[in-house]
Amino acid sequence: MYPFFGFGAIPKGKSKVSHCFALNGNELDPKICGVDAVIQSYRDILPTLKMSGPSLFAPLLQECKHLVEFCNDFKTYHILVIVTDGEIHDMEETIEEIADIAERNLPVSIIIVGVGDQDFSSMVKLDGDEVAIKKGISDIV
């Protein structure tokens, strides 16, 4: 089961940009069963969305943190995959959320995939390989 969210789009039936919405339409239970169903759900929902900026990552990170905190299976490790086509417009908030996840030692790794020909250089700052995003914070991106 995979919780599956969209961001930076106006979902069908809504009038404003959402930065974290369940792609299955069920905000109370955003899980989809199996990778094939995730891919099909994405294909189904994509034509109904009106893509729009800005690209805000902090709301997704907050939702991820919430799901991990309330996971009843303490042996589960979580991987957040963010697929984006644009630069990050809430860099400081994103850094704070990543730092909070790392400081609390939550079982999460984050993968950010940039798609398209945009300038993704700002995302390098989130990867703590060369320089930690915040002093004393482990690299989870």
- Tell me, letter by letter, the H, E, C secondary structure of 74-94: CCCCEEEEEEECCCCCCHHHH
Q: Give the integer Cα–Cα distance in Å for 54 and 86.
A: 8
pLDDT at 1: 85
Q: Write down the H helix ranges in 2-129.
A: 35-45, 58-69, 91-103, 121-124
pLDDT tens digits, 1-33: 889 999 999 998 889 999 999 988 888 999 999
Is the full-model pTM beyond 0.95? no
Question: 22 burial class (0-12, 13-18, 19+ CB within 10 angstroms)?
Answer: buried
